[in-house]
Amino acid sequence: MKTPLYPAAAAALGTCLLYLPLTFLQAAESGPETAPASDRQEALEIVITAGRKPQSTRETLAPVTVITREAIETSQATDVVAILRQVPGLSLKNSGGLGKQTSLHLRGTNDKHVLVLVDGIKVGSATLGTTTFEYLPLDQVERIEVVRGPRSSLYGSEAIGGVIQIFTRKGADSAKGIKPRLSTGYGSHNTRKAAINLSGGDKNASWFNLDAATLRTDGYNVLEYYTDYPPPDYAPTRVTEPDRDGYTNNSLSLRAGHRFTNDITLEFSTLQAQGENAFDGAYQNLSEFREQVLSLKLSAPLGANTALGARIGQSRDELDSFKDDTYSSTFNTRRDSATLQLDTRMGSRTDLSFGLDFLQDNIDSNYAYTVDSRDNAGIFLNTQLRLDNRNRLEFALRNDDNEQFGAKTTGSLAFGHEFGNGVRATTSYGTAFKAPTFNDLYYPGSGNPDLAPETSRNIELGLSGSTRRGEWFVNAFQNHIDDLIEWQDIGGNVWQPMNVSSARIRGLELGASTQFGDWRLAANATLQQPQADSGNNKGKTLQYRPEQILNLDLDRRFGALTLGAGVHAESKRYTDASNSAELGGFGTLDLRARYDISPDWKLGLKIGNLLDKDYAQSRNYRQDGLNAMLTLDYQP
């Protein structure tokens, strides 16, 4: 089971990442080589999540990773979980392949410490406080933006580790008429997928995108065994279920918009995914799920330098669970939200954003929660100052008024300096918080309504560069989290969540990407120390957090044929708070090939875990061995 992350390989990558910036700087000074089209496009990449409005990647002072539709198709990933694992500072705890429970840790924080948006709408379970990334359909995704570091000063609760925003597929920008796209695939474990996409319109008038997809797999036996306590003596019994754990996901998305003659824009989007997930367990072994997001957005210019935006939306996270076809439980979450935001430019050096947010969480369950709804109102201000041609300052302040715990104020301050030759240094400080979940507060028989929010303070230093040949970055951060919520035995074998601990997370992120002719290389590595900072486990590594993460991707085009390889490696992780049990580190190698049969038809093959590594990200839950997926795409 143990496959170590070899120190020599890690050292070699570190040397490479440190050497590449110098190479890029020398290339920038050496001559007038024309930049590849893809590099020029990346230099002008527009992101929305970092500042809650469109900005170029060079304007924002936050570390941002953008995963485009092109990158998704190049990777030949099957689900959102697979495409996210390439993000710097991100690790996953997956319970065995497609559709299985997945926890995401961004920069060593808890899985509840990342805010997730779909088309600007907050998603996730209000009972658990997490997002079911495993159910989000990748075929419906146009792009993903990941902002690393605290963002509560703009978004409120949950953004301690960062923000992930998923944008659904968007219609054609200019070509009129309907443009169809088709995709189908077959792979290991009788995995089948198919998608049809229809888009059309004009960005200066009306446009639309309609996408339907299905993903099905028979799966494999994920869980080695589980422990049951059957009557009458309730003695621990080891149980094995050597059946396949299948998964089905059917999804549909629609995104449409219209630009009026006065430049007022109205946009609507919806995403729905539903299906079944089979697994092994003593109390439940089948779930029926439904994820749904609705968004309606209005944008209106108020003069040459001011714009007003308004959005209303709703997200649903619904889950019915069964044991051997017998009903067990229902947990349904509905989150209704509304936002009003004013963006203005004051002179040539100051950008100002002011906004109001409202969120209402509602739950419906067969469990009798003492409180089943909660409101939160937020007000925020974000200011960006161009002090001169080399120096930028960004300041954000937000106050949230929560029906359960009252007011909470967060803020952030960032400064950036341009040295020339595309090199920039940044420093930032930010505070963030996470509101307790409904399970923490009101779960029948054990909730604690007196819980306070978890809070954090983060300091960060960064150095980055961009040249004709590529980009590189180095980020160092320290995040201190207080009032962490943990379940404690309060006597009589009664467990209750309490604000009892704190954590300190230190980390270093390094990354670089470059393109030489038909070669493209991207690499990133994360070194982190996510440790408990109080209690009996002070100094121990937080559960399921690897201290080293490595990603390496290499692609080469040979005319109509493109070949690629991806390496992902993680060091060991501990499965308990006292660090007495661990899972070994691992490294996997994926290969991919895509052949352009014609300008419209493309054939792809991806081989995952080529070396057939036996490893787990969650204790007792096996990850897939050697596997393959063959796809055929039609994209006129």
pLDDT, one tens digit per residue, over 586-596 is 999 999 999 99
Is the CB of residue 339 less than 8 Å from the CB of residue 319?
no
**Cα separation, 617 vs 436, whole angstroms:** 26
Residue 174 has pLDDT above 90, yes or no: no
What pLDDT sits at residue 106? 98
For 620, how many CA atoms within 13 A lie in the half-sphere containing its CB?
12
- Flag whether 59 is in a domain: yes
Helix H or strand E encompassing 341: strand 326-346
Residue 176 has pLDDT above 70, yes or no: no
- Flag whether 2 is in a domain: no
For 611, how many CA atoms within 13 A lie in the half-sphere containing its CB?
13
Is the CB of residue 503 less than 8 Å from the CB of residue 533?
yes
Whether the model pTM is above 0.95: no
Average pLDDT score, the chain: 91
Q: Which residue is associated with the tokens 């050497």?
A: 19
Residue 538 has pLDDT above 70, yes or no: yes
**Cα separation, 610 vs 523, whole angstroms:** 19
- Flag whether 85 is in a domain: yes
**Cα separation, 185 vs 194, whole angstroms:** 6
- Per DSSP, the three-state class of 474 is strand
Dihedral angle of Cα 537, 542, 543, 549, to the nearest 10 degrees: -150
CA nearest neighbour of 374 among 399, 334, 402: 402
What pLDDT sits at residue 552? 98
Over residues 472-492, mean pLDDT: 92
CATH number, domain with residue 609: 2.40.170.20
**Cα separation, 414 vs 434, whole angstroms:** 22
Residue 309 has pLDDT above 90, yes or no: yes
CA nearest neighbour of 333 among 120, 114, 122, 125: 125
Here the tokens at position 87 are: 């993000």
Over residues 516-533, mean pLDDT: 96
32 vs 582, higher pLDDT: 582
CA nearest neighbour of 63 among 337, 621, 398, 471: 471
Three state DSSP letters for 528-581: EEEEECCCCCCCCECCCCCCEEEEEEEEEEECCEEEEEEEEEECCEECCCCCCC
- Flag whether 1 is in a domain: no
pLDDT confidence bin for 205, thresholds 50/70/90: confident
User: Count of domains in the chain?
Assistant: 1
Q: Please state which of the ranges 39-48, 304-313, 438-447 shows the lowest mean pLDDT.
A: 39-48
Question: Could you tell me what percent of the chain has a pLDDT over 90?
Answer: 80
**Cα separation, 190 vs 86, whole angstroms:** 26
- Flag whether 405 is in a domain: yes
Count of residues making up the chain: 636
Q: Are strands 162-168 and 114-118 parallel, antiparallel or unpaired?
A: parallel
- Flag whether 572 is in a domain: yes
What pLDDT sits at residue 630? 98
Question: Could you tell me what percent of the chain has a pLDDT over 70?
Answer: 92
pLDDT confidence bin for 44, thresholds 50/70/90: low
- Flag whether 58 is in a domain: yes
**Could you report the per-residue pLDDT of 150-171, keeping only the tens digit for each?**
999 999 999 999 999 999 998 7
Is the CB of residue 167 less than 8 Å from the CB of residue 142?
yes
Q: Please state which of the ranges 188-192, 223-227, 373-377, 402-406 shows the lowest mean pLDDT.
A: 223-227
Over residues 468-473, mean pLDDT: 92
579: containing domain = 7-634
Helix H or strand E encompassing 423: strand 423-434
Give residues with Cβ within 8 angstroms of 332, minimum separation 6: 316, 317, 318, 319, 363, 364, 365
Q: Please state which of the ranges 56-70, 82-96, 489-503 shows the lowest mean pLDDT.
A: 489-503
Is the CB of residue 490 less than 8 Å from the CB of residue 520?
no
What pLDDT sits at residue 128? 94
pLDDT confidence bin for 18, thresholds 50/70/90: very low
**Cα–Cα distance list, 494 to 305, 445, 515 (Å):** 59, 9, 58
Residue 19 has pLDDT above 90, yes or no: no
Helix H or strand E encompassing 522: strand 519-532
Q: Where in 6-79 does DSSP place strands (E)?
A: 46-47, 55-56, 64-68
- Flag whether 23 is in a domain: yes
Over residues 20-45, mean pLDDT: 39
- Per DSSP, the three-state class of 173 is coil
pLDDT confidence bin for 231, thresholds 50/70/90: confident
153 vs 224, higher pLDDT: 153
Q: How far apart are the first and last CA of the chain?
A: 45
**Cα separation, 95 vs 547, whole angstroms:** 20
Residue 29 has pLDDT above 60, yes or no: no
Q: Provide Rg for the chain, Cα atoms.
A: 24
CA nearest neighbour of 62 among 429, 513, 423: 429
What pLDDT sits at residue 172? 63
